[in-house]
Structure 1
């Protein structure tokens, strides 16, 4: 069907018509929409739209980041991955087909590289949090200027990396777009030459050695974004240049942006560590590590790398809280059972450990 483009921008009073459905990965697809009137789409890369979905039990409204770029204004696309317990996404994957029309509101949102011009960017995403990064990367590609973007993405497996082929096509043509993927595990019977494991400080330093010079945009599950923030803070990054968007709760305006109140060690705050096995109590600053305090007290905790990678300094915490930013030297199960790595754990208040 050939449309007669009106030269007018799309307005939310007009429904969107699904024009195409493209599978991306398992349980993930891109839905492309157009305006029946022939209107074009005006938005900022990284923004989102709200769709009115006609579910059997009644209409529900869900927000989805736009994965296409405003540099290609004749259509608009969203990429949906069914999350555990998903209702709207599951309905779209199972039932939304070309020709169907949906009510929509927007575009809206403040998560966009256009709002924070910079010479260098660092995009960090996980899972379907890649969608706004794809929009911003496409915009940079279409701008006609050489981009300087390091694009870091974490996925469960290589086959779960959304937009991988398209991003590699971009990167193969311009040296200014550097792709850095890390996965939890490789696909069966397929070689994976890239990074493996959870994103860490060491990995980030290898992926983007000049990260301190880059404007950071981050999107993914809340625990992932918190881990990224903790990494950057501990590495001395200027967090005024950090921007994030949760794909679970997009923000419409600056006024609605939630405050990020991460707990981090304060040099002037005092703490106390009880080394229970030795019967030694030591006072210190929150910025001191358990390992450093133990050494000053004449106690020996076996250690190796001293930056949370080897796991040699793992000790049991009996009580209290620590701030620990490690590099993969301890498992989530161990942390849940009370184990910490002494070399990268800062005491927050009074802490008791088995040393």
Structure 2
């Protein structure tokens, strides 16, 4: 069996991991690309034993980089979520955790030159149109991965990567509240449909029959909960203008409850068919915006948030995530301007990933978001 060798970097970005490619090293045709990515990850098997995936939704993600088509950006970042077992590829969402590795990967690939002890990389998230600035430590002319920054969900410490998210309102939908209201009822549940960095459906944990403090494993075992959430999500996707989202991971789902520690909110974030082990970077911005917006499901649950710029602390299954938000409020109207986070990344390996040449002519797969 003839195999193709495709150059790649395997990187951890935030609390996710996956292969990073040059877009030019992969097929342009999305059907062929999907087949290649399924082979790379090893989708179709719970362990991804025949690929580089890790058997979870946070380790079957793919980043594809190229020089940007936008004058205000350095890099185009095209993201793909590959399913663990179902041989599905979704190009609809972006991923903020994998995005953490885009700046370092672009420098490692020679797509962006080092510009001093710290290098700014302006990233265009192709899937959503968002613009993000990453500040990467580059002493001695190369990416530094060692440092004292720690994030919950990743062992040890690493060099910080600062992210500034710009132009994130209405990433896929028509505005921040695409249905035109802050709360609506779907299937008998009060939910907020909101789009800041990631389209989400957000409900109150207690309304869905849980405390909101369960572990990710406990929630993943609750099939009845997922059935309730999926029925709501499918209808919410239609109302948000996303169409039939049966095979798409967008919109994501979030359940909130009162913080137990020093945070503003406690969060369980769903991807959407598994509970995230921590919290997505994009989801954190959307939930922060929900907490800031009057009249949403967060009213009466979120602790008061300081004037802009404010640090919003979100508690998740294994710790906290801090989001610095810049916003303006006029009466009951919120203008969400930008969000900033500190995350970490690490280069794990580099080389060629091998895929069977036959995948280029394999039958079409189910592809979402195209």
Q: TM-score, normalised by structure 2?
A: 0.27
Give the number of the structure whose alpha-carbon radius of gyration is greater.
1
The answer to which structure, 1 or 2, has the higher relative contact order (CA under 8 A, 6+ apart) is 2
